[in-house]
Amino acid sequence: MRAFFAAIQELNAQGRLLSYHDRSDGGLFVTLAEMAFAGHCGIDINLDMLAAGQDEIAAALFAEELGAVIQVRREHTAEVLTELNAAGLGDLVSVIGTINEDDSVNLYFDEEEIFSESRSLLQSYWAETSYQLQSMRDNPECAQQEFEQIQDRNDPGLHVALSYAVNEDVAAPYIASGMRPQVAVLREQGVNGQVEMAAAFDRAGFTAVDVHMSDILSGRVSLDVFQGLVACGGFSYGDVLGAGEGWAKSVLFNSRARDEFAAFFARQSSFALGVCNGCQMMSNLHELIPGAERWPHFVRNSSEQFEARQAMVEVQQTPSIFLQGMAGSRMPIAIAHGEGRAEFSDADHLQRLQQSSDIALRYVDNYGKVTERYPANPNGSPAGIAGITTPDGRVTIMMPHPERMFRAVQHSWSPEDWSEDGSWMRMFRNARAWLK
**Beta strands 42-46 and 104-109, pairing class:** parallel
pLDDT score of 236 more than 70: no
Could you report the per-residue pLDDT of 94-146, keeping only the tens digit for each?
Answer: 999 999 999 999 999 999 999 999 999 999 999 999 999 999 999 999 999 99
Bridge partners of residue 70, in order along the sequence? 20
Looking at residue 319, its pLDDT comes to 97
| Helix H or strand E segment including 57 | helix 57-62
Looking at residue 246, its pLDDT comes to 87
Average pLDDT, the chain: 94
240 band by pLDDT with thresholds 50, 70 and 90? low
153 band by pLDDT with thresholds 50, 70 and 90? confident
Write the CATH number of the domain with boundaries 172-435: 3.40.50.880
- pTM (two decimals): 0.90
- Indicate which residue of 21, 286, 337, 401 is catalytic: 401
3-state secondary structure of 146: helix
Looking at residue 1, its pLDDT comes to 92
The answer to whether 59 and 28 are in contact (CB under 8 A) is: no
Pairwise CA distance, residues 107 & 227, whole Å: 63
Cis before 375 (ω within 30):
yes
* Helix intervals (H) in 138-237: 140-148, 172-176, 194-203, 213-218
CATH classification (class only), 2-151? alpha beta
- Indicate which residue of 142, 232, 276, 279 is catalytic: 276
DSSP string, 300-335: --TTSS-EEEEEEEEE-----GGGTT-TT-EEEEEE
Looking at residue 190, its pLDDT comes to 81
Mean pLDDT, to the nearest integer, of 203-232? 96
Beta strands (DSSP E) in 207-317 are 207-212, 228-231, 271-275, 297-299, 307-315
Pairwise CA distance, residues 252 & 398, whole Å: 21
pLDDT score of 423 more than 80: yes
Q: In three state form, how does the secondary structure of 368-425 look?
A: CCECCCCCCCCCCCHHHEEEEECCCCCEEEECCEHHHCCEHHHCCCCCCCCCCECCCH
pLDDT score of 24 more than 90: no
Other CB atoms within a 10 A radius of the CB of residue 260 amount to 20
Helix, strand, coil share of the chain (percent; to 5): 40, 20, 40
The answer to whether 279 and 233 are in contact (CB under 8 A) is: yes
Is 297 assigned a catalytic role? no
Is 401 assigned a catalytic role? yes
Per CATH, 2-151 and 172-435 having the same topology is answered no
pLDDT score of 40 more than 80: yes
Could you report the per-residue pLDDT of 265-295, keeping only the tens digit for each?
Answer: 999 999 999 999 999 999 999 999 999 998 9
In the chain, where are the structural domains located? Answer: 2-151, 172-435
